[in-house]
Structures are given as C-alpha cells and as structure tokens.
Amino acid sequence: MVDIAELKRQAAEKAVEFIESGMVVGLGTGSTAVHATRAVGRLLQQGTLQNIVAIPTSDKTAREAESLHIPLVTFDTHPEIDITIDGADEADPNLDVIKGLGGALLREKIVAVVSKRYVIVADHTKRVTQLGSKAPVPVEVIPFAERPVADYLKSLGARVEKRLDKAGKRPFITDENNIILDCYLNPIPNPQQLASAIRQQPGVVEHGLFLGFATDVILATPTGIEHFRRA
C-alpha cells in the first residue's frame, strides 16, 4: 500500500536540496510543505545550511518555523525571495496549479509573485490533465461581499460552497479575516480566462488558480521522484 504521507515528505525534502546557505526562503503551508519547513530547520541545526532567513505564507507556518528556530523576516527588509517551496491541490502538465485548500492562498500568491524560483511539491495523486478535475478553486472573499460574489461565481458555471471550519459549524476564516468560497467547476477548459473573470468581481480578494508561477513541480510517486521544470 502506498504511504501518501511518506511521498509528501520525499517530495518536500527533494526540493529543500535546492536551498543554499544565505538564501531568503519562502515557506509554504499545508501537509506537504510542512515537511520542507522541518527539513530546513533540521539542516540549520546541523549547520549544513547557514544564514537562512524565511518568510512564511501563514500564521501556522510561522509558528512551525519559530518552533524550529528558523529566523523569520518580512518584505520590509527582504522584498525578494530566492526560493519558495509550497504544496498544491492539483498540478497540470503546464505546471499550473490549484492551491488554497489549506486556506492560505492569498499570502501564498503574494510570496509566489516575488520568488525567483517557485517550487511546487506534491504526491502523484495531485497530478491532473486539466485543472479542476478533482479540486475546487478556492476564492477568498471579504465577508460583506459573500452573497453577490457567490451569485457571480455561480453565473460563471461554478457550484459554490462556503468553506466551514473543521467542526463544520462556523465559517472558515483566513489569516486576513476573510471567508473562502470553494468553486467546483469540473475540468476547467480555459483557466486563464476563468482567473481573469473571477478577479473582475468586487469583493474577491484572490483565487487559487496559480498560473505561470511554478518554475518547478516535484511529484513523489511510488516508483520515484519526478521533477518537471518550466522551459
């Protein structure tokens, strides 16, 4: 039986091999990216990596990094990131991905934009031929705009579900105090067109279509690591 948790660890730790001493590192959020954060902390403790500083993509990742004694900085002092390692909910052959099921898509995209190298790590179950085949597209929305945004997203053909917390009773609230509407669209024929359309609606803060950001996608499979690089 394939151990998905082990594959996630393998993908993340492969990506950490790209980090060099002195780099500014973006730390992703989620069950795969956390393995990268832990590996960075371990290598710093061992002295294999030195003079690393990091920018986390969520409060949860920040707490994890602090527990591992990874020095954290902000964009005020380090406006550019050398490499970011983050997970994904889906990845297609173009190295485009859907992110945000962990709820950190806004900060994740902010970090992605300023990263010289943006490495996506995942297990093989996240590979799809078309985005939207398995995962919904998360859309972060200010609470005041929930109804008009939801209606607009439905007009684009989405089945819209408001994300709830783990208990399933209250709305999930992001680090920026917004809500998330998960949009189920089945396979998306034109992700770029959809991304542009979603952003046109006032009240939308950000969406989980990460198009053209990834420089690398590392997939851990039962038969080994597969590494794809953007041409």
Calculate the alpha carbon distances from 42 to 33, 100, 102, 123, 152 in Å: 14, 27, 24, 22, 46
Q: What percent of the chain has pLDDT over 90?
A: 98
| Catalytic annotation present for 176 | no
Which of 13, 90, 108, 140 is catalytic? The answer is 108
Give the pLDDT confidence of 122-138 residue by residue, as tens digits.
999 999 999 999 999 99
Pairwise CA distance, residues 153 & 150, whole Å: 5
**DSSP string computed for 166-212:** TTSSSB---TTS-EEEEEE-SS-S-HHHHHHHHHTSTTEEEESEE-S
Class of domain 137-205: alpha beta
Give the pLDDT confidence of 56-102 residue by residue, as tens digits.
999 999 999 999 999 999 999 999 999 999 999 999 999 999 999 99
pLDDT above 80 for 30: yes
Instruction: Provide the residue ranges of all domains of the chain, joining segments of one domain with +.
Output: 4-128+211-229, 137-205
Pairwise CA distance, residues 24 & 38, whole Å: 16
Fold of 4-128+211-229: Rossmann fold (3.40.50)
